[in-house]
Amino acid sequence: MANSFSRIQVAGFLLSFFMIGVVQALYGPLLGSFMGSMHISYAQAGSLLGVHFIGALLGVLAFRPAERHGFNPRLLLRISLLCMILGSAGVACAPNFFTLLMADFICGLGFGGIDYGLNYIFSSVFPARRATAMLNLLNGCFGVGAIAGPGLALLAGYSVVGAFLLFSAGCAVCFALLLSLPAIHLVQGGDRPDTDLRHTLVSVRSIRGIAIVALFLILYIFHVGAETGIGGWGQSYLEWRSYSSESATNFVMAFWLAMTVSRFLVIPLAKRFSGQLIVGVCLAGMTISLLAPLLHAYDGVAFVAAGLFIGPIFPTCIPWLKASLEASSGVLSVVIALSMLGGVVFPPLIGALIANWGFLSIAVVVFVLTLTMFVSYFALLRTTRVATR
C-alpha cells in the first residue's frame, strides 16, 4: 500500500528533525546555568550530554525491533515526540539532579527515535531519486536546528527553564502536525536497514572485515566526540578565554552553521574528487584548525573552521563503508548507532578533566580525538586498498 503525506505532515517531519538539531546544540550554552542551578560539578554537567546520548543510542536501536514486532512507525514517531515533550519539560522543571538525568534520558530516547526513524522512513517510502532529495532536505533541517539551538539559549537569557519549556512547546507543535498522520507502510525486502547486532556480526566474517568495521567505528565515535566536545563545551572554553557569553554563543552558532553549510558545499566537489580524498582533506583541515586553541590563538575562529571541516566527514564516509564491506545495510545501521558512544563517553570525560586540569582540557581532548581520526583514516586507506585521486 502506497504512502501519501500531506504538506502539513511533511512539515511535521521536517520540523521534528529541526527540533532534534536544536536540542543537540542547546545543552552546551546552558551548561553553566545547569551548574549554577543544580550546584553540580563539571563532570556532572558533562554527564548531561552523556546521558542524553545513552537515551539516543537506545532510541535508535529500539526503533526497528519495535516496528518488526508490530508497532507501526506512526505510533513510534508519536511516542518519540512525547518522550521529547515530556523529557524536555522535565529538564526544565527538575527539582534535583537525579530527576534531571532521568528527564534528560527520556528526551534522548525521543531524539534517537526521531533521528533514526525519520531517516529510515524517508529511505523506505519515497522512490530512490526523491528519497535522496528528501533525505538531504531532512538532514539539512537538523543542521538549521543546530544553528538555532544556541540562539534559543540566548533568547531565553540562558535560563534552563525558559529554553527547555520553549523547546518542549516546539515539540508539541510537531506532535500536533502529525496527529492526522496515516499508518506508514514500509518497503519490504532486502533494502530495509537491519539493526540486529547478531545479523550484522554474522555478515562480517573476515579479519579484514572486522578491522574495517573497527576503524570506521573509531572514526565515527571520535567524530561525534569531537563534535559534541566543541558544541557542548565550546561555550565554556571561550568564556574561559575571556569571550563574553553573547560572543561565545555566536561562535558556537557559527560552528554549527559552518558544519551545515560545508555539507552542501562538498556536493559539487564530490563529482570531481573521491570521498576518501575529501575525508582526508577535511581531517587535515580539522587537525590544523584545532592547533590554534592549544596555542591560545584565534580560538573562536578555530572552532568555526573546525566546523567547516568536520561537516562532510560523517555523510561522506557512508558510501566508503558500504563499498568496502559489500555487506548488508545492517552494518551501516549498527556503526551509525554505536557512533553515539562518542556523545556518551567524551562530554563527561571532558568535564572530569576540567575539574582536574582546567579548561584547556577541552582543546586538548578535541585535538587528540581529531588526530586519532586522522590515524584511523590512513589505516582505512591501507585496509580498504582504495586509492585517492
Pure H helices in 126-191:
128-155, 160-177
Query: What SS3 class is residue 358?
Result: coil
What is the structure's pLDDT at 370? 95
What is the structure's pLDDT at 355? 87
Task: Determine the residue type at 349.
Answer: L
What is the structure's pLDDT at 388? 38
Mean pLDDT of 251-274: 87
Task: Determine the residue type at 27.
Answer: Y
Q: Is the pLDDT of residue 336 over 90?
A: no
Residue 27 CA: distances (Å) to CA of 22, 78, 174, 192 = 9, 23, 21, 33
Mean pLDDT of 162-181: 94
Q: Is the pLDDT of residue 101 over 80?
A: yes
**Rama region for 242: left / alpha / beta (φ>0; ψ in -120 to 50; rest):** left
Residue 170 CA: distances (Å) to CA of 11, 101, 160, 382 = 13, 21, 15, 47
**Quick one: how far is CA 103 from the chain centroid?**
19
Q: In whole angstroms, what is the distance from residue 290 CA to residue 170 CA?
A: 34
For 70, other C-beta atoms within 10 Å of its C-beta total 7
Give residue-wise pLDDT tens across range 103-131: 999 999 999 999 888 888 887 777 655 66
Tell which residue, 36, 59, 264, has the closest CA to residue 159.
36
What is the helix (H) or strand (E) element at residue 276, kind and residue range? helix 275-289
Which range in 84-88, 259-263, 334-338 is most confidently predicted, on average pLDDT?
A: 84-88
When the pLDDT of each residue in the chain is averaged and rounded to a whole number, the result is 86
Q: Is the pLDDT of residue 360 over 80?
A: yes
What is the structure's pLDDT at 74? 87
Q: Is the pLDDT of residue 389 over 50?
A: no
Residue 337, all three cell numbers: 548507532
Tell which residue, 22, 10, 180, 157, has the closest CA to residue 88.
22
Residue 103 CA: distances (Å) to CA of 2, 4, 99, 370 = 37, 34, 6, 31
Task: Determine the residue type at 262.
Answer: S
What is the structure's pLDDT at 330? 61
- What are the backbone angles phi and psi of residue 355, rounded to the nearest 5°? -60, -30
Give residue-wise pLDDT tens across range 195-235: 454 555 445 556 777 888 889 999 999 999 999 999 989 99
Q: Is the pLDDT of residue 387 over 70?
A: no
126 DSSP assignment: S
- What are the backbone angles phi and psi of residue 96, rounded to the nearest 5°? -150, 170
Q: In whole angstroms, what is the distance from residue 21 CA to residue 148 CA?
A: 8
Q: In whole angstroms, what is the distance from residue 165 CA to residue 171 CA?
A: 10
The residue with greater pLDDT, 239 or 132, is 239
What is the structure's pLDDT at 133? 66
Q: What is the CA radius of gyration of the chain?
A: 20
Residue 68, all three cell numbers: 518488526
Give residue-wise pLDDT tens across range 26-52: 998 999 999 999 999 988 988 998 999
What is the structure's pLDDT at 194? 46
Of the listed ranges 163-167, 235-239, 316-320, the one predicted with least confidence: 316-320
**% pLDDT > 70, the chain:** 88
Q: Is the pLDDT of residue 167 over 80?
A: yes
The residue with greater pLDDT, 159 or 6, is 159
